[in-house]
Amino acid sequence: MRELVAFVEVARRLNFTRAAANLGVSVPTFSQTLRGLEEKIGVRLLTRTTRSVSLTDAGIEFLASLEPLLENLDIALDGLNRFRSETGGRLRVLGSRAASTLIVGPLIARFLSEHPDIELEMLVDDLHIDLVEHRIDAGIQIGERIDKDMLAIRLVEPFEEVLMASPDYLRNRVAPHTPANLAEHWCVRLRSSWDGTLRQWTLTNGEEKAEPSTGAHFVANDLRVLASVVRSGGGIGLFPKVLVRDALASGELVQVLEGWSSWVSGIYLFHPSKRQMPAALDAFIRFMRKNKPGPDSLSSG
């Protein structure tokens, strides 16, 4: 059984280092396990070079036969998680800045109170980090940033972002009436730590869509820094309302181009597809599912 699990893991990832790390074994041990499988069945399943690994024709066919069987085994193992009484251990979770502050942070005290034997480490970063390579158990990010080989659970439904400015900024300017007018304004823009790109503003208003040409009067890789600049009169920015709801309520910020907005696909908890999920991770996933924000948490303020 161990050899079959090792084969499927490397066949899915086509990377010995990541596959071995995901199963918690050393690369030499992992490689030896696969060689043992090939010797036992008398068929070569993998083609290895110093830089890559690929499947032979026999390996492709073998993988197609094995995956349904192991998927059923995963379901059976997941069903046993609820019978575990020990949930202690160390848990490492990666979260984007916004998700860590708005979603996870307020729930940490309750989670630790319910699971006092778990040691939780939160890594807050917007960078693209390989969970397996860095031995991180789970991540929390927006949907577009999740690798396809991860298992994902939606915590927050798609939510709306709107354009905002301070009354001081608008006092001596003509407020934009169409997306095209944004080219005449100071625009405060987000630089993605994920891939280094400057985020394009894609706006919709019913059936209308616009990707206006805008300058970048100020650029930062953190939404809270951008919100601070906008509050102080630095320009127009695009934000989830929940991030600046207090400033909106007090009149410190006002919405511009009402009717035009941008949508984010949602925020997800994701983790590698491990054959036997650690009890601490299972407890965290169950807790977050139970306590995830309501449907209006990130869409109104």
pLDDT in tens, 36-91: 888 888 888 888 776 678 888 888 888 888 777 766 665 565 555 555 545 668 89
3-state DSSP call for residue 274? coil
The answer to which of 8-22, 81-95, 257-271 has the lowest mean pLDDT is 81-95
Instruction: Read off the pLDDT band of 209 (50, 70, 90).
Output: very high
Amino acid identity of residue 264, one-letter, is V
161: which residues sit within 8 A by CB, 6+ positions away?
238, 239, 240, 241, 261, 262, 263, 264
Does position 294 have pLDDT exceeding 70, yes or no?
no
Instruction: Read off the pLDDT band of 276 (50, 70, 90).
Output: low
Q: List own/partner pairs for 120-123 with CB under 8 A and 24 or more apart.
A: 120/90, 120/91, 120/93, 120/284, 121/90, 121/91, 121/92, 121/93, 122/93, 122/95, 123/92, 123/93, 123/94, 123/95
The two beta strands, 89-95 and 138-142, are: parallel
Q: Which is more confidently placed, 45 or 182?
A: 182
Q: Which is more confidently placed, 72 or 204?
A: 204
Q: What pLDDT, on the 0 to 100 scale, is given for residue 295?
A: 47
Distance CA 263, CA 214 (A): 19
Does position 104 have pLDDT exceeding 70, yes or no?
yes
pTM above 0.85, yes or no: no
* Average pLDDT value over all residues in the chain: 83
* % of the chain at pLDDT higher than 70: 88
Q: Which is more confidently placed, 200 or 133?
A: 200
Q: What pLDDT, on the 0 to 100 scale, is given for residue 135?
A: 80
Q: What pLDDT, on the 0 to 100 scale, is given for residue 275?
A: 54
Instruction: Read off the pLDDT band of 274 (50, 70, 90).
Output: low
Does position 191 have pLDDT exceeding 50, yes or no?
yes
76: which residues sit within 8 A by CB, 6+ positions away?
none
| Exposure string for 87-126, b = 16+ CB within 10 A, e = fewer | beeebbbbbbbbbbebbbeeeeeebeeebeebebeeeeeb
Does position 298 have pLDDT exceeding 60, yes or no?
no
Q: What is the mean pLDDT of residues 121-131?
A: 82
Distance CA 185, CA 177 (A): 12
Q: What is the mean pLDDT of residues 113-132?
A: 86
For 213-265, what is each residue's pLDDT tens digit? 888 899 998 888 999 999 999 999 999 877 777 888 899 999 999 999 998 88
Q: What pLDDT, on the 0 to 100 scale, is given for residue 114?
A: 92
